[in-house]
Amino acid sequence: MNYCSHCGKPVTHRIPDGDNRHRYVCEHCNRVHYENPRIVAGTIPVWNNQILLCRRAIEPRRGYWTLPAGFMENAETTVEAAVRETLEEALAEVTVDGLYTVLDVPHIDQVHMFFRATLTDGQFGAGEESLDAQLFGYDDIPWDELAFPTIRETLEHFIRDQMEEHFPVRLGDIRRKLGQ
Protein backbone atom coordinates (compact mmCIF):
# COMPACT_ATOMS: atom_id res chain seq x y z
CA MET A 1 0.00 0.00 0.00
CA ASN A 2 1.43 3.37 -1.00
CA TYR A 3 -1.42 5.82 -0.46
CA CYS A 4 -4.23 6.28 2.04
CA SER A 5 -7.57 5.14 0.65
CA HIS A 6 -9.27 7.80 2.81
CA CYS A 7 -7.32 10.97 1.94
CA GLY A 8 -4.90 9.93 -0.82
CA LYS A 9 -1.71 10.93 1.00
CA PRO A 10 1.32 8.59 1.28
CA VAL A 11 1.30 6.02 4.08
CA THR A 12 4.07 4.64 6.25
CA HIS A 13 4.47 1.09 7.54
CA ARG A 14 4.96 1.12 11.30
CA ILE A 15 3.55 -0.10 14.60
CA PRO A 16 0.84 2.40 15.62
CA ASP A 17 0.64 3.56 19.22
CA GLY A 18 -1.22 1.02 21.34
CA ASP A 19 -0.75 -1.78 18.75
CA ASN A 20 1.71 -4.66 18.44
CA ARG A 21 1.86 -5.22 14.65
CA HIS A 22 3.09 -3.28 11.69
CA ARG A 23 0.25 -1.51 9.89
CA TYR A 24 -0.05 1.00 7.08
CA VAL A 25 -0.65 4.37 8.73
CA CYS A 26 -1.49 7.70 7.12
CA GLU A 27 0.53 10.41 8.86
CA HIS A 28 -1.80 13.05 7.38
CA CYS A 29 -5.25 11.85 8.57
CA ASN A 30 -4.00 9.27 11.15
CA ARG A 31 -6.04 6.48 9.55
CA VAL A 32 -4.72 3.00 10.36
CA HIS A 33 -5.25 0.57 7.47
CA TYR A 34 -5.77 -2.93 8.85
CA GLU A 35 -5.16 -5.95 6.66
CA ASN A 36 -7.14 -8.97 7.78
CA PRO A 37 -7.58 -12.54 6.52
CA ARG A 38 -10.05 -13.17 3.75
CA ILE A 39 -12.81 -15.75 4.10
CA VAL A 40 -13.34 -18.46 1.51
CA ALA A 41 -16.77 -20.07 1.82
CA GLY A 42 -17.98 -23.16 0.00
CA THR A 43 -20.07 -26.29 0.15
CA ILE A 44 -19.71 -30.03 0.06
CA PRO A 45 -22.67 -30.63 -2.27
CA VAL A 46 -24.02 -34.18 -2.08
CA TRP A 47 -26.51 -36.01 -4.27
CA ASN A 48 -27.25 -39.75 -3.91
CA ASN A 49 -24.07 -40.40 -1.90
CA GLN A 50 -21.91 -38.59 -4.45
CA ILE A 51 -19.98 -35.35 -4.01
CA LEU A 52 -20.09 -32.59 -6.62
CA LEU A 53 -16.65 -31.29 -7.59
CA CYS A 54 -15.67 -28.59 -10.08
CA ARG A 55 -12.61 -28.55 -12.34
CA ARG A 56 -11.09 -25.07 -12.04
CA ALA A 57 -11.02 -22.84 -15.13
CA ILE A 58 -8.95 -20.15 -13.40
CA GLU A 59 -5.63 -19.86 -11.65
CA PRO A 60 -4.41 -20.81 -9.20
CA ARG A 61 -4.51 -24.55 -9.90
CA ARG A 62 -6.37 -24.35 -13.22
CA GLY A 63 -7.52 -27.81 -14.30
CA TYR A 64 -7.58 -29.26 -10.80
CA TRP A 65 -10.71 -30.39 -8.94
CA THR A 66 -12.20 -28.47 -6.04
CA LEU A 67 -15.33 -28.09 -4.00
CA PRO A 68 -17.35 -25.07 -5.14
CA ALA A 69 -16.05 -22.17 -3.06
CA GLY A 70 -14.77 -18.64 -3.27
CA PHE A 71 -14.22 -15.38 -1.50
CA MET A 72 -16.99 -13.98 0.63
CA GLU A 73 -18.33 -10.60 -0.52
CA ASN A 74 -19.23 -7.64 1.65
CA ALA A 75 -22.85 -7.57 2.88
CA GLU A 76 -23.34 -11.35 2.76
CA THR A 77 -23.19 -14.08 5.37
CA THR A 78 -20.85 -17.06 5.12
CA VAL A 79 -23.82 -19.29 4.23
CA GLU A 80 -24.94 -16.85 1.53
CA ALA A 81 -21.40 -16.78 0.15
CA ALA A 82 -21.18 -20.59 0.07
CA VAL A 83 -24.56 -20.92 -1.67
CA ARG A 84 -23.69 -18.16 -4.18
CA GLU A 85 -20.32 -19.73 -5.00
CA THR A 86 -21.96 -23.13 -5.51
CA LEU A 87 -24.43 -21.60 -7.94
CA GLU A 88 -21.72 -19.62 -9.76
CA GLU A 89 -19.19 -22.44 -10.07
CA ALA A 90 -21.41 -25.51 -10.38
CA LEU A 91 -24.76 -24.05 -11.51
CA ALA A 92 -26.21 -25.97 -8.58
CA GLU A 93 -28.77 -24.98 -5.99
CA VAL A 94 -28.22 -26.43 -2.54
CA THR A 95 -29.78 -26.67 0.86
CA VAL A 96 -27.18 -26.04 3.53
CA ASP A 97 -27.12 -28.75 6.20
CA GLY A 98 -24.60 -27.15 8.56
CA LEU A 99 -21.11 -25.80 9.07
CA TYR A 100 -18.54 -28.55 8.64
CA THR A 101 -14.92 -27.37 8.44
CA VAL A 102 -13.18 -24.16 9.43
CA LEU A 103 -9.57 -24.28 8.28
CA ASP A 104 -7.10 -21.47 8.88
CA VAL A 105 -4.50 -20.95 6.15
CA PRO A 106 -2.26 -18.36 7.83
CA HIS A 107 0.55 -18.25 5.25
CA ILE A 108 -1.89 -16.83 2.67
CA ASP A 109 -4.06 -14.88 5.12
CA GLN A 110 -7.23 -16.90 4.53
CA VAL A 111 -9.85 -18.84 6.47
CA HIS A 112 -11.71 -21.57 4.53
CA MET A 113 -15.20 -22.51 5.69
CA PHE A 114 -17.11 -25.42 4.16
CA PHE A 115 -20.75 -26.27 4.76
CA ARG A 116 -22.40 -29.65 4.26
CA ALA A 117 -25.07 -29.26 1.59
CA THR A 118 -27.56 -31.24 -0.47
CA LEU A 119 -28.32 -30.53 -4.11
CA THR A 120 -31.95 -29.46 -4.21
CA ASP A 121 -32.79 -31.16 -7.52
CA GLY A 122 -29.67 -32.99 -8.70
CA GLN A 123 -29.04 -30.42 -11.43
CA PHE A 124 -25.56 -28.95 -11.97
CA GLY A 125 -23.17 -27.81 -14.68
CA ALA A 126 -19.91 -25.99 -15.27
CA GLY A 127 -20.15 -22.33 -14.30
CA GLU A 128 -18.02 -19.52 -15.66
CA GLU A 129 -15.03 -20.35 -13.41
CA SER A 130 -15.24 -24.11 -14.02
CA LEU A 131 -14.13 -26.30 -16.90
CA ASP A 132 -16.34 -29.16 -15.72
CA ALA A 133 -18.53 -30.27 -12.83
CA GLN A 134 -19.06 -33.92 -11.91
CA LEU A 135 -20.52 -36.07 -9.19
CA PHE A 136 -18.00 -38.47 -7.69
CA GLY A 137 -18.63 -41.52 -5.57
CA TYR A 138 -16.49 -41.62 -2.45
CA ASP A 139 -14.19 -44.23 -4.02
CA ASP A 140 -13.84 -42.24 -7.25
CA ILE A 141 -12.64 -38.88 -5.95
CA PRO A 142 -9.57 -37.78 -7.98
CA TRP A 143 -7.32 -37.40 -4.93
CA ASP A 144 -4.16 -36.70 -6.96
CA GLU A 145 -5.94 -33.92 -8.86
CA LEU A 146 -7.38 -31.93 -5.96
CA ALA A 147 -6.57 -28.22 -6.11
CA PHE A 148 -5.87 -27.35 -2.48
CA PRO A 149 -4.97 -28.97 0.87
CA THR A 150 -8.16 -27.57 2.44
CA ILE A 151 -10.22 -29.50 -0.12
CA ARG A 152 -8.37 -32.75 0.62
CA GLU A 153 -8.71 -32.33 4.38
CA THR A 154 -12.41 -31.47 4.16
CA LEU A 155 -13.15 -34.45 1.91
CA GLU A 156 -11.13 -36.87 4.05
CA HIS A 157 -13.06 -35.81 7.16
CA PHE A 158 -16.38 -35.90 5.33
CA ILE A 159 -15.95 -39.44 3.99
CA ARG A 160 -14.87 -40.75 7.41
CA ASP A 161 -17.73 -38.95 9.13
CA GLN A 162 -20.25 -40.08 6.51
CA MET A 163 -19.47 -43.70 7.40
CA GLU A 164 -20.26 -42.94 11.05
CA GLU A 165 -23.20 -40.66 10.15
CA HIS A 166 -21.83 -38.08 12.59
CA PHE A 167 -20.70 -34.63 11.41
CA PRO A 168 -18.98 -32.57 14.10
CA VAL A 169 -17.60 -29.18 13.13
CA ARG A 170 -13.95 -29.73 12.25
CA LEU A 171 -11.43 -27.02 13.12
CA GLY A 172 -7.87 -27.04 11.86
CA ASP A 173 -5.15 -25.26 10.03
CA ILE A 174 -3.08 -25.78 6.94
CA ARG A 175 0.46 -24.55 7.31
CA ARG A 176 3.07 -24.28 4.61
CA LYS A 177 5.80 -26.85 5.04
CA LEU A 178 9.39 -25.65 5.03
CA GLY A 179 10.82 -25.44 1.54
CA GLN A 180 7.44 -24.82 -0.15
For residues 27 and 55, membership in a common domain is answered with no
For residues 100 and 131, membership in a common domain is answered with yes
Would you say residue 132 lies in a domain? yes
| Per-residue confidence (pLDDT) for residue 178, from 0 to 100 | 53
Distances (CA, A) of 67 to 12, 73, 91, 136, 179: 39, 18, 13, 11, 27
For residues 16 and 94, membership in a common domain is answered with no
Task: Return the DSSP state at 135.
Answer: E
User: By residue range, what is the domain housing residue 12?
Assistant: 1-35
**Contact present, 109 and 35 (Cβ < 8 Å):** yes
Q: Say how far apart CA 133 and CA 147 lie, in whole Å.
A: 14
| Per-residue confidence (pLDDT) for residue 176, from 0 to 100 | 80
Count of structural domains within the chain: 2
**DSSP assignment string, 14-80:** E--TT-SS-EEEETTT--EE---PEEEEEEEEEETTEEEEEEESSSSSTT-EE-SEEEPPTT--HHH
- The reply to whether the predicted model has a pTM over 0.85 is yes
Would you say residue 71 lies in a domain? yes
Q: For residue range 120-177, what is the model confidence (pLDDT) as tens digits? A: 999 999 999 999 999 999 999 999 999 999 999 999 999 999 999 999 999 999 998 6
Q: Say how far apart CA 163 and CA 63 lie, in whole Å.
A: 29
